[in-house]
């Protein structure tokens, strides 16, 4: 027989608890534990401001009880009062160093992107030797914080430990897969994502990440299928549309890519990269005027967007607007003096307007940068151009 849980019944239980504590407090307004427990019930129902009021009353009655500060910290976190949450967890730790308060404070610090400080709190929580299920969660959070500061190898070690402690911990498999993806371990990442899908088949983000890993391995059609599934699970999943568009563009399916970029832009109208990607796709199908519009929007959103100046310059050159194109490439080079593609294209455009001396100089600079970066394809192209120019 299948057992189901009605969340309304759970909510009713907490409401009944609140009514019971109301009655207790009518009889004894100084009942510290009634305020404490009623605050916990309010947290369970998402009534964070009422919880803060109750925990504050409990603290007034008993200022040396760590759980009251901890509970108020949870409520402040629920309200988005993160600095106040940290202050309450800190006071709870001063009174009674406990893994729960270290864990919660670490999570709030991570929300504030103070990852090194969060890691120290997770370290402290682990040293207090919580039970296996809780310690697995702490290793997960510490691994995520380490990944955020680029320490992917150590992050993977933490995710390994979390999985050793809790073998069906799908979030640990997922985060380990993401870390492996960052390290270029694409096949191993896919195996972790496969495990997550076996455990949680409706987890849209894992299909996105597996699709990214497959696209890195040039398994384009399989990647597209993963992005399709992600979108079927979350119809407004902008990152899935974006990545599907990138893969379609790699396959030369530019009209389809543009449709995906359109879908990604709708919920993210201020994301400069999306307009640039769409502009590049339009360049490929010779919609030069429309490509310029997209590049202009990208530059408006991000005035230092060097690649957008390059793409805009190429589009203008194709429309015969060579002087304006050169100005765009000048800007790209001013922003990034090591941008080899900008020198290459500026040289090509200058060649069209017979600026012979400048052409060779641009090609030579681009060649030097290509050699420094190890871009053999660009180097060969530039060597051929210089040969022909001489």
| Residue 311 within a domain | yes
For the cut 50, the answer to whether the pLDDT of residue 1 exceeds it is no
Q: 378 or 88: which carries more pLDDT confidence?
A: 88
Residue 156: Cβ within 10 Å count: 24
Mean pLDDT, residues 111-116 = 97
Label residue 361 by pLDDT band (50, 70, 90).
confident
The pLDDT value given to residue 235: 94
**Token pair recorded at residue 7:** 């969340």
Asked if 309 and 352 sit in the same domain, the reply is: no
pLDDT by residue (tens digit) across 225-263? 999 999 999 999 999 999 999 999 999 999 999 999 999
Label residue 356 by pLDDT band (50, 70, 90).
low
Asked if 265 and 324 sit in the same domain, the reply is: no
- The alpha carbon of residue 351 and the mean position of all alpha carbons in its chain are separated, in whole angstroms, by 43
pLDDT by residue (tens digit) across 8-36? 443 468 888 889 989 999 999 999 999 99
Phi and psi angles of residue 354, each rounded to the nearest 5 degrees, phi first: 65, 35
Give the least confident one: 179-183, 311-315, 326-330, 379-383.
379-383
For the cut 70, the answer to whether the pLDDT of residue 347 exceeds it is yes
**Token pair recorded at residue 319:** 């429309």
The pLDDT value given to residue 5: 31
Do 65 and 58 touch, CB atoms closer than 8 A? yes
The pLDDT value given to residue 155: 98
**What angle separates helix 32-44 from helix 66-79, to the nearest 10 degrees?**
30
Which of 285, 286, 288, 258 lies closest to 274 in space, CA to CA? 258
Quick one: what percent of the chain has pLDDT higher than 70? 95
Q: How far apart are CA 100 and CA 296, in angstroms?
A: 50
pTM comes to 0.86
| Residue 100 within a domain | no
Asked if 247 and 280 sit in the same domain, the reply is: no
| Residue 53 within a domain | no
Q: How far apart are CA 339 and CA 311, in angstroms?
A: 13
Asked if 281 and 305 sit in the same domain, the reply is: yes
Asked if 208 and 236 sit in the same domain, the reply is: yes
pLDDT by residue (tens digit) across 26-64? 999 999 999 999 999 999 999 999 999 999 999 999 999
* Structural domain for 384, as ranges: 344-390
**What angle separates helix 288-301 from helix 306-318, to the nearest 10 degrees?**
160
| Residue 325 within a domain | yes
Residue 96 is given by DSSP the state S
Which residue among 315, 336, 357 closes a domain? Answer: 336
Asked if 332 and 352 sit in the same domain, the reply is: no
pLDDT by residue (tens digit) across 297-329? 999 999 999 999 999 999 999 999 999 999 999
Mean pLDDT, residues 105-116 = 97
Asked if 207 and 263 sit in the same domain, the reply is: yes
Which residue among 229, 251, 269 closes a domain? Answer: 269
Q: How far apart are CA 128 and CA 70, in angstroms?
A: 17
| Residue 99 within a domain | no
Label residue 159 by pLDDT band (50, 70, 90).
very high
Instruction: State the chain's maximal CA–CA distance in angstroms.
Output: 99
**Cα-based angle 253, 255, 261 (whole degrees, multiple of 5):** 100
Residue 210: Cβ within 10 Å count: 28
Q: How far apart are CA 97 and CA 178, in angstroms?
A: 33
- Tell the residue number behind the tokens 């060779």, with chain if given: 360
Asked if 238 and 276 sit in the same domain, the reply is: no
The pLDDT value given to residue 335: 97
Residue 20 is given by DSSP the state H
Q: 211 or 375: which carries more pLDDT confidence?
A: 211
The pLDDT value given to residue 28: 94
Contacts of 321 (CB under 8 A, 6+ apart): none
The pLDDT value given to residue 9: 40
Number of domains in the chain: 3
C-alpha neighbours within 13 Å on the C-beta side of residue 128: 19
pLDDT by residue (tens digit) across 278-298? 999 999 999 999 999 999 999
Task: List C-alpha distances in Å: 290 to 147, 278, 280, 297.
Answer: 39, 9, 10, 11
Do 72 and 55 touch, CB atoms closer than 8 A? yes
- CATH number reported for the structural domain that contains residue 316 in this entry: 1.25.40.10
| Residue 132 within a domain | no
- Tell the residue number behind the tokens 């940290």, with chain if given: 86
Residue 122: Cβ within 10 Å count: 28
| Residue 186 within a domain | no
Label residue 358 by pLDDT band (50, 70, 90).
confident
Which residue among 244, 269, 294 closes a domain? Answer: 269
Asked if 332 and 349 sit in the same domain, the reply is: no
The pLDDT value given to residue 355: 52
Asked if 368 and 310 sit in the same domain, the reply is: no
The pLDDT value given to residue 279: 98
| Residue 330 within a domain | yes
């Amino acid at each position: 027989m299948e057992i189901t849980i009605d969340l309304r019944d759970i909510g009713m239980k907490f409401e009944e608890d609140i009514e019971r504590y109301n009655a207790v407090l009518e009889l004894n307004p100084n009942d510290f534990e009634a305020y404490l427990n009623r605050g916990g019930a309010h947290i369970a129902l998402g009534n964070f401001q009422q919880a803060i009021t109750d925990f504050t009353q409990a603290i007034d009655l008993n200022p040396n009880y760590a759980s009251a500060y901890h509970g108020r910290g949870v409520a402040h976190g629920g309200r988005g009062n993160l600095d106040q949450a940290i202050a309450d967890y800190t006071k709870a730790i001063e009174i009674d160093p406990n893994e729960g308060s270290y864990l919660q404070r670490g999570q709030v610090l991570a929300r504030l992107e103070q990852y090194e400080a969060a890691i120290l709190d997770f370290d402290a929580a682990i040293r207090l030797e919580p039970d296996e299920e809780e310690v697995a969660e702490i290793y997960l959070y510490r691994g995520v914080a380490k990944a955020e500061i680029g320490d992917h190898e150590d992050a993977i070690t933490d995710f390994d430990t979390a999985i050793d402690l809790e073998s069906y911990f799908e979030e640990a498999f997922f985060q380990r897969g993401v870390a492996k993806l960052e390290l270029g371990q694409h096949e191993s990442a896919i195996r972790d994502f496969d495990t997550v899908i076996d455990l949680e088949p409706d987890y849209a983000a894992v299909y996105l990440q597996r699709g990214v890993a497959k696209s890195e391995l040039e398994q384009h059609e399989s990647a597209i299928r993963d992005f399709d599934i992600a979108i079927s699970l979350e119809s407004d999943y902008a990152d899935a549309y974006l990545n599907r568009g990138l893969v379609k563009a790699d396959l030369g399916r530019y009209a389809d890519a543009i449709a995906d970029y359109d879908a990604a832009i709708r919920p993210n109208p201020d994301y400069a990269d999306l307009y640039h990607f769409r502009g590049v796709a339009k360049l490929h199908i010779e919609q030069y005027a429309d490509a310029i519009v997209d590049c202009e929007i990208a530059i408006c959103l991000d005035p230092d967007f060097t690649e957008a100046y390059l793409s805009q310059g190429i589009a203008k050159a194709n429309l015969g607007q060579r002087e304006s194109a050169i100005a765009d490439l000048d800007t790209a080079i001013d922003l990034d003096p090591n941008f080899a593609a900008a020198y290459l294209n500026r040289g090509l455009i200058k060649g069209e307007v017979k600026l012979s001396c400048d052409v060779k100089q641009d090609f030579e600079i681009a060649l030097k940068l290509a050699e420094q970066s190890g871009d053999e394809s660009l180097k060969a192209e530039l060597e051929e151009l210089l040969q022909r120019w001489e």
